[in-house]
Amino acid sequence: MTRYIIIGAGAVGASLAAEFETHGIAYVLVGRGVQIDHIARHGLTYRRPHGTRQIRLQAVNTATPPVLKPDDILVLTVKTQDVEAATAFWAWLPVEGGGLAADLPLVTVQNGLAAEDIALRRFSRVYAASVKIPARYTVTGEVVVGGAPNLGIVTLGRYPHGLDDTARDIVADLTKAGYLTEARADITRWKAEKLIHNVTNATELFAATPDARAAIAARVADEARTVLHAAGLDPAVPSERTFDISGWHVAEDSGIEQGQQSTWQSFTRGSSSEVDYLNGEIVRLARLHGIPAPLSEALQQAVARLARDGGRPGSVGIEVVGEP
């Protein structure tokens, strides 16, 4: 029987574990630090639009990982900056009956385009997922997911290209768990499409009027689209979806506030920044293809200074980004 090993007990990982627990899908949630200690001891406080539950989860510390079985599927729900260390740790663990974890399927949910190539150095079967889920982790032991009626939208395929039975089985389990899910053979195009949005995450870290923030967000998204096209990545467009997502929304009073996406959450918790893999990915592609990406570069540098100086969201005005 398939069992999912969910690595990283944050917004995406802990909510996935809560849904697997609720829907009878076998899993173990592996985390670190106070978050996993809290969840293992007290359960997860899981807030959804229809109510808050305290859920007991199969939760273990990464210091004592579960013995892996041949039917396990690993789901990596850490941020991109932690993918190298996490894949180095997991890949060479033994699997019961012989073999290494490196030959088990590994699902990468990270925003940006870097996680899959890092994983592919060690894992032979990588399944990339583009995850649109309004999830928040800012309080130890608590995760909020505001998507309604479904939790969020997951697009998944074999990396670098294609679909197979494992991809379809994962999609079926995610659908059972309450996500709107689609299997796509061209998954990198969907990850590129999502990156056009995630380069705007950085704008939420600076104090600004809503108009000033919206203006810079629109410009940095346009710049990212141009760079991704120039790099030949052909980002997908929403009309290519095989199902209608127009009814999906973030519920009012769900606890999810606009302007508090995953990067904002990291800074709010004083954790590390993923921006070098979001705006930094656009900067890298632009440099490889000899084109400019001044706005992503300026945002990346402004965020790096904020992180270096221990700044919190809103402690510095958006003017520090300059007028590139």
Ligand X SMILES: CC(C)(CO)C(=O)C(=O)O
Ligand Y SMILES: NC(=O)C1=CN([C@@H]2O[C@H](COP(=O)(O)OP(=O)(O)OC[C@H]3O[C@@H](n4cnc5c(N)ncnc54)[C@H](OP(=O)(O)O)[C@@H]3O)[C@@H](O)[C@H]2O)C=CC1
CB 25 within 8 A of CB 91: no
Taking CB under 6 A as the rule, which mask of x and - marks residues 244-283 in contact with ligand X?
-----------------xx---------------------
Angle at 65 (CA atoms; ends 60, 67), nearest 5 degrees = 120
Angle at 38 (CA atoms; ends 34, 44), nearest 5 degrees = 125
**Does 76 participate in binding ligand X (rule CB under 6 A)?**
no
Which residue, 111 or 279, is less far from ligand X as judged by CB?
Answer: 111
**Does 134 participate in binding ligand X (rule CB under 6 A)?**
yes
E-only strand ranges, 149-298: 153-159, 180-183, 249-250
**Does 133 participate in binding ligand X (rule CB under 6 A)?**
yes
**Does 132 participate in binding ligand X (rule CB under 6 A)?**
yes
Stretch that binds ligand X, among 34-42, 127-135, 137-145, 159-167 (CB under 6 A): 127-135
Taking CB under 6 A as the rule, which mask of x and - marks residues 99-118 in contact with ligand X?
------------x-------
Most distant CA pair in the chain, distance: 59
Stretch that binds ligand X, among 126-134, 161-169, 177-185, 231-239 (CB under 6 A): 126-134
Instruction: Give me the least distance between CB of 270 and ligand X, in Å please.
Output: 18
Which residue, 11 or 302, is less far from ligand X as judged by CB?
Answer: 11
CB 171 within 8 A of CB 182: yes
Instruction: Give me the least distance between CB of 172 and ligand X, in Å please.
Output: 22
Question: Which residues contribute to the site for ligand Y (CB under 6 A)?
Answer: 7-13, 30-33, 35, 62, 77-80, 82, 85-86, 109-111, 131, 133-135, 137, 262, 265-266, 271, 274
Which strands, in side-by-side order, build the sheet including 180-183? 59-61, 27-31, 3-7, 72-76, 105-108, 125-132, 153-159, 180-183
Spatial separation of the C-alpha atoms in residues 121 and 99, rounded to whole Å: 17
CB 11 within 8 A of CB 44: no
Return the residue matching tokens 């928040």.
Answer: 136
Residue 227 binds which entry of ligand Y, ligand X, none, CB below 5-8 Å type-dependent = none
Spatial separation of the C-alpha atoms in residues 135 and 12, rounded to whole Å: 7
**Does 150 participate in binding ligand X (rule CB under 6 A)?**
no
Instruction: Give me the least distance between CB of 33 and ligand X, in Å please.
Output: 21
**Does 15 participate in binding ligand X (rule CB under 6 A)?**
no
**Does 201 participate in binding ligand X (rule CB under 6 A)?**
yes
